[in-house]
Amino acid sequence: MIWIEEDVIMAISKELKEELIVDYPTFIENTKKFYNKEISVQDYKGLSGPFGSYAEKGANTGMSRWRFPGGVLDQDKIRFVAETIRRYDLKVPHFTTGQCIQFHNLDGDTIIKLFEECHRHGIYNRGAGGDHPRNTAASPLLGLYKDEIWDFSPYVKALSEYVLTFIKDIKFPRKFKTAFSNGQENSAHVTFKDFGVLAHPEDKTFSIYVAGGLGPNPKMGVLVGNHIQPEELLYYVKTLALIFSEHGNYKNRSKARVRYLQDILGGPEALQNTFKTYLAKVKETEKLTINPSEFIYSINKHGQVDPSLQNSRVGEQKQEGLYYVNWHPYGGNPSQKQLLQVLEYVGGLDDEVQIRLSSDESMYIVNLTADEARQVLAITENGGTNDFYNSVSCIGATICQVGLQDSSGLLIKIFDAVRKATNVNSDLLPKFHISGCPSSCGTHQIGTIGFHGAMKVVNGVPTPAFRVFRGGNENLEHEHFAEQIGTIVSSDIPSFFVELGQILTKANLTFDAWIQIHDADFDELVSKYE
């Protein structure tokens, strides 16, 4: 049997590929000047961000962000990433909530070389930062879900390629995020993205949400297209791009995001009306219809169903006899050694095996036989095994130049405290989200429990702390931003989780079940630690 899957190699034109690297010499020049201390941190941020790189805390090192549309790595990319980690000794990898991989603690020369080498291997990091379209996110198992009736991955690939053309054609005030949901799960947060695409498998159409976003002044997206034909998708993204470029705030960067269009234009209804007007003009003047056949390829791999393969991190694909394995390194921070083990084993398998990065900082290794899945399970043992240990954190203030507190460090301290505690069943604790600052890179605003870095004055002394949020929800038809309910100093948060875990264990209830009738008790527990 032949199964139809997505094209894993971006069908990017030769002309666009050349455009995305034409100003590489300028990046080289500016990067050398910065690491020679000839350019300030603030000035360099605007120069390096468009190339997927930012300086880190202390301004002596930097990071390189690698864009993978839909989170997909084919075999060429898997092998390239492994070889590059070895050749440049990339010690600090991080899986992001944008389905990218970042490498940290790099010197300027390495950052320069990585950009060009990635480009040659179809990893287009131009626009991975700065005022540009960011990586297109998608449901991580698209095309593989057991009960899936519509694989719309060709449209993910088409949109991913198309938005790259905006880098040269449209000047954005700030970042522009796009995402897809399969209509069952919302891990890519389509209903609160700049441009979100919600699939309706029953009639193979899309609904389009725009001008949503996390961070300061979060907004739910506004519905501007209901059950549209998928071939018309690019008309909608071009329409939003034009509205944003003409009405976005170019003067105040704190308000230079798509979500502020709701306020600028006079509310959601006014945005809908403006969108309708612009859409009609775009359809009159441009030809942007998608031909999905250009983005499809066949997969011929077969396997044998193995009922003995039972593990919470393993799932059966719709392709008979094939499996996927989930790996969630704590906080999306795998060790160099373990990541290399995974990449080198997976990169030694057949060309149909892929890696899919997820917005919760997980990695899925897909298109595996049962025996291959067992091998992957064995080399990915060190990672999350339940919701609690699959919690999400940004890289944090030890590395990030804008971070306020050490989110990644706090995550590990919480895990360590819960492991050592008595009378705590971690299976009952929820997945939580930590951001080092209000920007919500750790998506704390949609977490059942969320935190963002802050300071708290204790006995007259400013002390590292985190603001506490509860009640966020990313699930479709239940989306809700979390409510801030208090501030706890960083050193007390592990004890807070231990006590919460003891309460849940005594009640023998999951947090989701317990909080339904105990929200006041939760708030009281937070107050106890304030």
Q: Could you state, in order of their start, the residue ranges of all structural domains in the chain?
A: 21-125+301-385, 153-290, 388-529
Nearest to 455 by CA among 432, 408, 488: 488
Buried (b) or exposed (e) across 13-37, using 16+ Cβ within 10 A?
Answer: eeebbebbbeeeeebbebbeebbee
Fold agreement between 153-290 and 388-529: yes
Tell how strand 323-327 and strand 314-316 pair up. antiparallel
Please tell me the predicted confidence (pLDDT) of residue 11: 56
Determine the CATH number of domain 388-529.
3.30.413.10
Two tokens at 464? 């590292």
Computed on alpha carbons and rounded to an integer, the radius of gyration of the chain in Å comes to 23
Please say whether the beta carbons of 471 and 483 come within 8 A.
yes
What amino acid occupies position 329? P
Per-residue pLDDT at 1 exceeds 80: no
Choose between 169 and 505: higher pLDDT.
505
Average pLDDT in the chain? 94
Nearest-angstrom CA–CA distance, 14 and 60: 36
Per DSSP, helices labelled H in 380-472 are: 407-420
Quickly list H helices, 137-267.
153-164, 166-169, 233-247, 261-264
Three state DSSP letters for 27-70: HHHHHHHHHCCCCCHHHHHHHHHHHCEEEECCCCCEEEEECCHH
Q: What does each C-alpha distance from 471 to 411, 429, 501 come to in angstroms?
A: 19, 14, 17
For the chain, give the percent of residues with pLDDT over 90: 91
CATH class of the domain at 21-125+301-385 = alpha beta
Mean pLDDT for the stretch of residues 31-36: 97
Q: Report the pLDDT value the prediction gives residue 6, as an integer from 0 to 100.
A: 33
pTM for the structure as a whole: 0.94
Residue 288 has what pLDDT? 95
Q: CB of 208 within 8 A of CB of 224? A: yes
Concatenating the DSSP letter of every residue in 116-173 gives HHHHHTT---TTSSSSSB-PPB--TTTTT-TT-S---HHHHHHHHHHHHTHHHH---S
How much is the pLDDT for 250? 87
Which 8-state DSSP code applies to residue 21?
Answer: T
Checking if the pLDDT of 3 tops 50, the result is no
Architecture in CATH of 153-290: 2-Layer Sandwich (3.30)
- The whole-number pLDDT of residue 97 equals 96
CA distance 517 to 520: 8
Whole-number Cα distances in Å, 112 to 26, 115, 167: 11, 6, 20
Structural tokens at position 100: 């990218």
pLDDT band at 253, cuts 50/70/90?
confident
* C-beta atoms surrounding 499 within 10 Å: 15
